[in-house]
């Protein structure tokens, strides 16, 4: 079988166009989340402490959502997988997965947002998070791109923490679009 190289680049040959200079400028610019913080209304819910949005760079914010009661806990240990990575089959049986990894809650919250066709901004290190810090410093969260969707994300997270009877906290983040530089 013969292979033929098609469209080979010829430079310096008579009649060939000069190669174009590469443009390495970013194709986009950083954008803040859509809307403004006034579009978000924090809920009051028994058994929960929900912080005011903690503002960060580029208009982003982290909202800590803590369930202050529960038979299960959130795994907060650094450097190892602490807790079940998936939510238990039976929310009422606290002996099944007594410790829940925060990722299990955040991934489910993000999946529920996607089913509602709400633009998500990933899960993990939240705005103002410190990758080298302890659990509290990470600001682990699921994110949305618009302030108007922050209350929906908050509701989803509080519902999950209550349904699975989990004592502890994770967060909601409101993020814009950041270009990779």
pLDDT digit string (tens) for 84-141? 999 999 999 999 999 999 999 999 999 999 999 999 999 999 999 999 999 999 999 9
Is residue 181 very low, low, confident or very high in pLDDT (cuts 50, 70, 90)? low
Whether 68 maps to a domain, the answer reads: yes
Strands 61-67 and 48-50: antiparallel
The residues pairing with 170 across neighbouring beta strands, listed in sequence order, are 65
Report how many domains make up the chain. 1
Nearest residue to 94 via CA among 112, 125, 64, 73: 73
Of residues 179 and 111, more confidence is placed in 111
Whether 28 maps to a domain, the answer reads: no
Q: According to the model, what pLDDT value does residue 136 have?
A: 94
Mean pLDDT within 170-180: 84
Whether 124 maps to a domain, the answer reads: yes
**Residue 15 neighbours by CB under 8 Å, 6+ apart:** none
Whether 181 maps to a domain, the answer reads: no
User: CA–CA separation, 8 vs 53, rounded Å?
Assistant: 55
Burial of 130 from C-beta contacts in 10 A (0-12 / 13-18 / 19+): exposed
The residues pairing with 160 across neighbouring beta strands, listed in sequence order, are none
Q: According to the model, what pLDDT value does residue 168 have?
A: 97
Whether 103 maps to a domain, the answer reads: yes
- pLDDT(159) > 90: yes
Q: According to the model, what pLDDT value does residue 58 have?
A: 82
Q: According to the model, what pLDDT value does residue 59 have?
A: 86
Whether 27 maps to a domain, the answer reads: no
Whether 155 maps to a domain, the answer reads: yes
Contact 106, 141 (CB under 8 A): yes
Contact 138, 126 (CB under 8 A): yes
Instruction: Tell me how many degrees the CA angle 151-36-63 measures, rounded to the nearest 5.
Output: 45
Q: Which domain holds residue 122?
A: 37-174
User: pTM of this prediction?
Assistant: 0.81
Whether 108 maps to a domain, the answer reads: yes
Of residues 33 and 78, more confidence is placed in 33
Give per-residue pLDDT as tens, 5-63. 333 333 444 454 555 555 555 565 668 889 999 999 988 999 999 999 999 988 899 99
């Amino acid at each position: 079988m013969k292979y033929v190289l098609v469209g080979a680049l010829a430079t310096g040959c008579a009649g060939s166009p000069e190669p174009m200079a590469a443009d390495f400028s970013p194709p986009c610019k950083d954008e803040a989340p859509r809307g403004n913080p006034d579009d978000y209304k924090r809920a009051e819910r028994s058994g929960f402490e929900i912080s005011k949005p903690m503002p960060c760079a580029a208009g982003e914010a982290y909202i800590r959502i803590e369930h202050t009661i529960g038979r299960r806990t959130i795994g907060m240990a650094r450097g190892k997988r602490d807790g079940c990575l998936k939510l238990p089959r039976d929310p009422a049986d606290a002996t099944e997965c007594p410790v829940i990894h925060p990722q299990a809650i955040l991934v489910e919250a993000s999946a529920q947002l996607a089913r509602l066709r709400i633009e998500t901004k990933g899960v993990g290190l939240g705005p103002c998070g410190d990758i080298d810090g302890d659990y509290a410093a990470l600001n682990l969260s699921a994110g949305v791109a618009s302030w108007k969707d922050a209350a929906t994300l908050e509701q989803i997270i509080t519902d999950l923490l209550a349904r699975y009877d989990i004592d502890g906290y994770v967060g909601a983040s409101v993020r814009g679009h950041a270009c990779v530089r």
